[in-house]
Amino acid sequence: MNKHFVILAVAGLAATSAIAAELPERVKSAGKVVVANQPNYPPMEYRDPATNELKGVDIDLGVALAKQLGVKVEWSDIGFEQMISSLTTGRVDLIHSGMSDLPKRRDTLDFVDYMKSGAQFYTAAARKDEFKSPADLCGKTVGMSRRTSFPDETAKWSAANCEAAGKPAIKVVGTEGSADARAQLKQGRVDAAVQGSETLPYLMTLEKDTYALVGEPFTAVYQGIGFAKKDSELRDAYAAALKALMDNGEYKKIFAAHGLEGTMLDGIYVNGEAAK
C-alpha cells in the first residue's frame, strides 16, 4: 500500500477513536445505539418490498455515523407519535426518522441537523391544470399526516395567503400518514396533499404520471437527529461524527446516491444554529 495512504488511514482511525471516546459510558458498554425509526417515508426510510431490507437516506447516514463512532445500530420501529416519549423514558438512545427540528420540540429534545426540508403542496397529475399555484388551493380540501407539523403549517399558510386575501380557508384533513394522504388523493377524497419536499421526487419517479407539484415548498426547516436534553455527550459525539463524514466526502456521497444533493447542509447545526 502507498505510504501516503497508510498515513491517512492511521490518521482516520485516530480521529474515529477520538470521536468514539466522547460517547456516554452506557453506549460504549453496549457497543450499540438504539435508534427510533419508522420506515414508511421513502426515500428517507423504507423497507425494500422484495427483500424487506431497510433502505433510505436516514438508514445509510445512521449506519455511517455509528460506524464513525465505533458502534452498531439497532433500529427500533416506533410510531412517530411515540418517538419522543420513547426517547425521554430511555427506551431508545436517539431519534433518526425524518423529524423536523421545530422550536416547540426543543423544550424536550436537542437536534443535530443534517438536511434541509420544506412542506410541499402536490395534487393528482390529472388535476395539475386546475391547481397551477398554491393560491388555487384556497377553499379546497388538502390531506396530510396528522402526526407531523404539516397541519399547523398549512393552516398558518392558509391564514396568511387565503383568508387574508378574502378567500376561503384551506380545509385541512389530518390523515393516518403520508401514504394515507396519497391514497385519499387517488380516491378523490381530497383535492391535494402536503408532504416533505425531499420525498416527492422519489415518489414521482416510482409512480410516474401520478402526482404534480403545486408551487414551491411553503416552509423551510431542518431535519434533525433528536437527543434527550440530558444526553449532551451523545449529541456532541454525533455532531463530531457528522462533521467527519462531511469532511471525508461520505455525507455528500450518501445524499447524491438518493438524488438529494440540494438538501445538504454546509456545516454542523445544532437546534437550528450553526455550531461554534
For residue 174, give the H/E element and its range: strand 171-175
DSSP-derived letter for residue 275 is -
In 3-state terms, what secondary structure has residue 159?
A: helix
Q: What is the DSSP string of 233-257?
A: HHHHHHHHHHHHHHHHTHHHHHHHH
pLDDT tens-place values along the chain, 276 residues long: 444 444 333 444 445 667 888 899 999 999 999 999 999 888 999 999 999 999 999 999 999 999 999 999 999 999 988 999 999 999 999 999 999 999 999 999 999 999 999 999 999 999 999 999 999 999 999 999 998 889 999 999 999 999 999 999 999 999 998 889 999 999 999 999 999 999 998 889 889 999 999 999 999 999 999 999 999 999 999 999 999 999 999 999 999 999 899 899 999 999 999 997
Residue ranges and CATH numbers for the domains of the chain are 3-117+222-274 (3.40.190.10), 119-214 (3.40.190.10)
Q: Which string of b and e fits 152-190 if b means at least 16 CB within 10 Å?
A: ebbeebbeebbeeeeeeebbbbebebbebbbbbbeeeeb
| Nearest-5° Cα angle at 70, 64 to 73 | 60
Q: What angle do CA 76, 198, 80 make, to 5 degrees?
A: 30
Q: Is 215 exposed, middle or buried (0-12, 13-18, 19+ CB in 10 A)?
A: middle
Task: Give alpha helix (H) positions in the chain.
Answer: 3-20, 25-30, 57-69, 83-88, 150-161, 178-186, 200-206, 232-248, 250-257
User: What is the pLDDT at residue 40?
Assistant: 87
pTM over 0.85: no
Confidence at residue 19, expressed as pLDDT on a 0 to 100 scale: 87
The closest of 138, 121, 115, 15 to 62, measured between CA atoms, is 115
What is the rounded CA–CA span in Å between residue 100 and residue 142?
20
Which triple of cell numbers denotes residue 32? 450499540
- pLDDT given at position 159: 98
Do the Cβ atoms of 94 and 226 come closer than 8 Å? yes
